[in-house]
Amino acid sequence: MDKLIITGNGPLDGEVWASGAKNSALPILAATLLADEPVTIGNLPHLQDITTTLELLGRMGVEPVMGDKMSIQLDGSQVTHCHAPYELVKKMRASILVLGPLLAHFGTADVSLPGGCAIGSRPVDLHLRGLEAMGAEIHVDGGYVQARCAGRLKGATIFFDTVTVTGTENLLMAATLAEGTTVLENAAREPEVVDLAECLITMGARIRGHGTDTIVIEGVPRLHGGHYDVMPDRIETGTFLVAAAASGGRVRVRNTRADTLEAVLAKLDEAGARVEVGDDWLELDMRGRRPRAVNVRTAPYPAFPTDMQAQFVALNCVAEGAGTVVETIFENRFMHVQELNRMGARISLEGNTAVITGVDRLSGAPVMATDLRASASLVVAALVADGETQVDRIYHIDRGYECIEEKFQLLGAKIRRVPG
């Protein structure tokens, strides 16, 4: 298993680019299953989760055609098997996103149930209930969701008890080909949901209200081909900014969108960082200053994202004062705390609340990545720690961060990958 070896090397300084957003690319790749013609998706990040999705689509008969500039053409009319096997779904929970498109386009889907994962139990009951409300027959048998519908799905009004990002995306995609109008209430407002809706619109879908908590979809009989570029990754961008702030450095992130990062930028401002915003770039400057600890509470967009929680825990570890971080989305998303404490952090954990008292210095140690963003927080901590840190099990990080060591090297970090 590969490891990252990181030696704290003073303030980060330099420029880096944001890749396409993983959490936008995954539903958009699944959405190509809805079309009868080739769809080209650009600005795809080079990530393990994208490879897994392409393998999944390949098993269904869809052969990806590689284009230039990280673009891939996929043709939903090539589908021969409406089946997502456990061996791929277990690698990536977002595989559940093929359920809505397969059912809406082909009337049948057998998709392995994703299990829980390190951060929580993560059920998909709201996805299944919504599809049933649209007329699907759903059985769970042998660990598989077996979904069928005779003819087209029917438009329905669906209220989500809990705001769910992939649940909203699955039903949004299914509704594009349903007969009649679907209304999704208490829908997720995340920028990645908006990006998916915009992609579907370029394929001929009729959608309004995306970006609000009520999305209205008028079903159409078919979707056509097109070209769509995935939005920049706001979580990757935020991770670079936090690393810059923790190290007392200056980092510019290009090819990004400040409007998707307001809650994160507000917290960085509170931590004492100076942030400059350009057309498609952001620059954070914390030179000569130590960050102040901040209080954070995760919640659905536009509030503070759970996918940035671990990185802010790491920031607080080296900040002045004490900060409280409350996780309200996932029940077990604090696996980084034990590892950060092994690096000399002072974090106490009670239920869904971490209280972090900043220390002057962290010290390098062997640590283990347990999930994607926990891994990112360990990298941030290692960059500002004294001595060497070995981050093990970095396959988690490769799910969501493109060329992480090359990008941090551009900022002056001492970081290298050791194949294992």
Ligand X SMILES: CC(=O)N[C@H]1[C@@H](OP(=O)(O)OP(=O)(O)OC[C@H]2O[C@@H](n3ccc(=O)[nH]c3=O)[C@H](O)[C@@H]2O)O[C@H](CO)[C@@H](O)[C@@H]1O
User: Is position 415 annotated in a ligand binding site?
Assistant: no
User: In Å, how far are 38, 113, 191, 326, 356 from 241, measured between CA atoms?
Assistant: 37, 36, 19, 21, 20
- Binding region for ligand X (CB under 6 A): 23, 26, 94, 120, 122-127, 162, 164-167, 192, 306-307, 329-330
Which amino acid is located at 354 in the chain?
A: A
Token digits for 239? 């991770």
Please, which residue, 120 or 412, has the CB nearer to ligand X? 120
CB–CB of 9/408 below 8 Å?
no
Please, which residue, 317 or 329, has the CB nearer to ligand X? 329
Least Å distance, CB 171 to ligand X, is 10
Per-residue DSSP letters for 203-239? TT-EEE-BTBSEEEEE--S-B--EEEEPPB-HHHHHH
Among the listed residues 35, 372, 383, 413, the single contact to ligand PEP using CB under 6 A: 372
Angle between helices 165-176 and 22-31 (to 10 degrees): 30
156 makes contact, choosing from ligand X, ligand PEP, none, with CB < 5 to 8 Å by partner type, with none
400 makes contact, choosing from ligand PEP, ligand X, none, with CB < 5 to 8 Å by partner type, with ligand PEP
Q: Given the residues 82, 117, 199, 403, select the one marked as catalytic.
A: 117
Least Å distance, CB 162 to ligand X, is 4
Residue 229's closest CA among 34, 68, 407? 68
User: Is position 154 annotated in a ligand binding site?
Assistant: no
Least Å distance, CB 270 to ligand PEP, is 23
Please, which residue, 9 or 186, has the CB nearer to ligand X? 186
Q: Pattern 88-127, binding to ligand PEP, x per CB under 6 A?
A: -----xx---------------------------------
Please, which residue, 110 or 307, has the CB nearer to ligand PEP? 307
The answer to whether residue 238 forms part of the interface with ligand PEP (CB under 6 A) is: no
* b/e sequence 270-280, b meaning 16+ C-beta within 10 Å: ebebebeeeee
Q: Return d(Cα 39, Cα 204) in angstroms, integer.
A: 12
126 makes contact, choosing from ligand PEP, ligand X, none, with CB < 5 to 8 Å by partner type, with ligand X
- 219 alpha carbon, distance to own chain's centre: 27
Q: Return d(Cα 408, Cα 223) in angstroms, integer.
A: 41
Q: Return d(Cα 258, Cα 268) in angstroms, integer.
A: 13
CB–CB of 173/34 below 8 Å?
yes
Answer yes or no: 317 catalytic. Answer: no
β-sheet bridge partners, residue 14: 251
Please, which residue, 267 or 373, has the CB nearer to ligand PEP? 373
Report whether the peptide linkage leading into residue 302 is cis, meaning its omega lies within 30 degrees of zero: yes
Least Å distance, CB 180 to ligand PEP, is 31
CB–CB of 318/384 below 8 Å?
yes
- Counting residues that bind ligand PEP (by CB under 6 A) gives 7
Least Å distance, CB 399 to ligand PEP, is 7
Interacting residue ranges for ligand PEP, rule: CB under 6 A: 23, 93-94, 307, 372-373, 400
